[in-house]
Structure formats: structure tokens, C-alpha cells
Amino acid sequence: MSEESPSQPRQRRVYPKLWGYSVTRISYRLGQLGWNTTEAHAALQAILGWPRRSGSATCWPCRWENCRPDWSSGAIEAAKLEWTRRGQASTGPAGGAGDRRPQDGWAADGGQERNGAPPPPLEIARQQAPADDDKQGPVVAAQPYAVASFRVTSGSSLQQLSRSELGLLVKRVIEREGPVHREEVARRLAQLAGQRLVQAVQTAVDGALRHVAANGSGVVCEGPFYYLSQQADVPLRDRGQLESSHPLRKPEMLPPAEIRKALQAIVEVHLGVEREEAVREASRLFGFKRINGRLREVLQEQLEELLRSGRLDERQGKLYAAR
């Protein structure tokens, strides 16, 4: 009678990790960023190279029988792009898409890479699924700031023009750059006229601004900022291409209406974003690589205004568009 071999202990299956993080951790982080469970797990299956089993009701990442990943979601493509960008940058060429083993450089345990370096920060941005083949989901984007450029042919200096004549010039600047600060209107006209911006020019421009705002010419003001009343959609403008010393890069030159538009757009795209993340994203949208104390204060003031007016809701420290 032959001896029976002792039973071998059951080995725990080791799942691959992405960017040094476990599948569970990534799924949790995706949930924080507003992805639902089906989106997150479908994306994880795709980027880990786990093909969908036809007729199977089991979700491979979590092994839940009742989790059915939504394979029509645009989150899959977004996650695959992020996998390619971060994975190849950190580890170089990896194995095939169907290889489920941890690749060289990817930690199998402990959340550290094999060379001892800490894993890169886990930052995955959510993108909406495209409505059809030609339309992409909403993305918050800003256009480069374009300054007004036209010829000022008056034979007199700006401060010598009549209020109505100067009013036509300031309105042309507002049409191009509104919402725009009153000081920037005066600076632009001085540049176009080839003059220095002296106090007399600023005083004359201020008078012309008050004139066009009061005579029903379609110009309205919000504090020191002026824009056209028929300007239904406030533009989001990137000031990153301007020199760091340019006056438009001062926090005080950011129009409140433009800040509110940016914050609302960010919250609508990134549901459940935290306050600090929304402020940081808005500063990047305007072209600021670093956020200083004054810039943070200016952005937070308008965030508070959106919350007070009910255009944004805050629940459990997360921001959402008003219902």
C-alpha cells in the first residue's frame, strides 16, 4: 500500500499591481474620483490584459458575481492610456497584454518597486464616455489669452479725446478681452496708441468705462472688471504663454466670472472633487504652474460665492454641481 503524499498548502494567488498599487487600492481611488464600480472594474480588466469572458457574470478584478462591468464606458480607453503612459515610463517595455504575472519592476507585494524606489503617485483623471464616434466627453479646457489688437489713428493723445471717442475704443478692447480689468483696458489702449500709461490716461479711461456702462451701450461691470452684457458664455483663458512678469498673470487680474466658470466646469467634469483639488485644477487651467497664497485666496473667494449662491453643493467634503 503506497503512502499518500502529504497535502500541499494552498498557495495564495498574487495579482498584478499597477504603479506599485494593488487592484483594490486603485479601484478605491477611482471611486474617489467619481468612477462608478462598473466603470472602474471594466477599466482594470482592460488594462491588466484580462479579456472579457462571454457568458461569465464574474468580475475578474473583484470576483464579485453581481458586478457586471460596463464595457461601453470611455473609462476603459482613458485607463489604458494612463497605463501606457505611467507603466512604460516607470518600467520600460512590459510583457504581453495577456500576461497576468507581475512584470519586472512592478511590485508583487509591499507596494514598492523591486529596485527599492517608491511607486509614483496614483493620479488618474476621469474622462466621460464619448456620445458617439465623432463626439468626445466633456473636458475642461482653456484657450490662450488673446489681447486686443487694432490701430488707434487719433491725432490726439488718449487723455485729450472726448469721452464718446474714448468710449468707442474701450468698447473694442472689452469686445476682445472681456471680462477685463479697468487697468488692463487703459494699458492696452496706451500700448496701441504708442503712449506711456500715466495717471492721466488711466483717469480718462476710467471715465470712458463709466460712460459706456451707464449709457446702455451693452457694457456691464463687476467691480473693476468690464464685459459685454450679451456675452452669454464667459471664456476660459490660459495665461501660461505670457511672461511671468505680465500684469495679466497677477491674481488680482483674474475676473471673478471667469473663475466661477472654471470652478463650475471642473466640478461638473470631476464629480466629488475636493476643494483643494478644484482650486489647484483651476490655477492650472489659468496657466499658473504654482499656486501662491494670494492666488489661492482669490480662487477660494469665488468658490465660497458659488457655494453661498447654491450653484455648487458640498457634501462630506466633496463638491458637486447643484441639483
Is 248 within the bounds of a domain?
yes
When pLDDT is averaged across residues 118-141 and rounded to a whole number, the result is 48
Query: Do residues 222 and 247 both lie within one domain?
Result: no
Residue 20, pLDDT above cutoff 70: no
| Domain termination residue (choose one: 228, 260, 292) | 228
Query: Do residues 281 and 205 both lie within one domain?
Result: no
Confidence of residue 40 (pLDDT cuts 50, 70, 90): low
Query: Do residues 174 and 201 both lie within one domain?
Result: yes
Q: Number of helices and strands (H, E) in the chain? A: 9, 7
Q: CA of 218: how far to CAs of 51, 61, 174, 305, in Å?
A: 59, 58, 11, 25
Query: Do residues 223 and 281 both lie within one domain?
Result: no
pTM: 0.59
Q: 99 or 289, which is more confident?
A: 289
Containing structural domain, residue 204: 143-228
Query: What is the total count of domains within the chain?
Result: 3
| Domain termination residue (choose one: 228, 263, 286) | 228
Mind listing the pLDDT tens digit for each residue in 135-154? 444 578 899 999 999 999 87
What distance in Å separates the CA atoms of residue 106 and residue 125, rounded to the nearest whole number? Answer: 22
CATH number, domain of 277, equals 1.10.10
CA atoms within 13 A on the CB side of 216: 0
Q: 1 or 269, which is more confident?
A: 269
| Domain termination residue (choose one: 228, 263, 288) | 228
Query: Do residues 153 and 214 both lie within one domain?
Result: yes
What distance in Å separates the CA atoms of residue 107 and residue 86, rounded to the nearest whole number? Answer: 14
Query: Do residues 270 and 214 both lie within one domain?
Result: no
Query: Do residues 32 and 67 both lie within one domain?
Result: yes
Query: Do residues 181 and 213 both lie within one domain?
Result: yes
How much is the pLDDT for 134? 41
Is 185 within the bounds of a domain?
yes
Is 103 within the bounds of a domain?
no
How much is the pLDDT for 94? 40
Is 7 within the bounds of a domain?
no
Is 300 within the bounds of a domain?
yes
Is 3 within the bounds of a domain?
no
Is 282 within the bounds of a domain?
yes
Asked which of 24-28, 154-158, 216-220 is least confident by mean pLDDT, the reply is 24-28
Most confident of the ranges 3-17, 26-40, 187-201 = 187-201
Segments in the chain forming alpha helices (H):
23-32, 37-47, 75-91, 163-177, 182-193, 199-214, 256-269, 275-285, 293-308
Q: 255 or 16, which is more confident?
A: 255
Residue 297, pLDDT above cutoff 50: yes
Query: Do residues 262 and 302 both lie within one domain?
Result: yes
Query: Do residues 224 and 270 both lie within one domain?
Result: no
Helix (H) or strand (E) segment spanning residue 318: strand 318-321
Asked which of 42-51, 228-237, 314-323 is least confident by mean pLDDT, the reply is 42-51
How much is the pLDDT for 254? 97
Query: Do residues 223 and 245 both lie within one domain?
Result: no
Is 2 within the bounds of a domain?
no
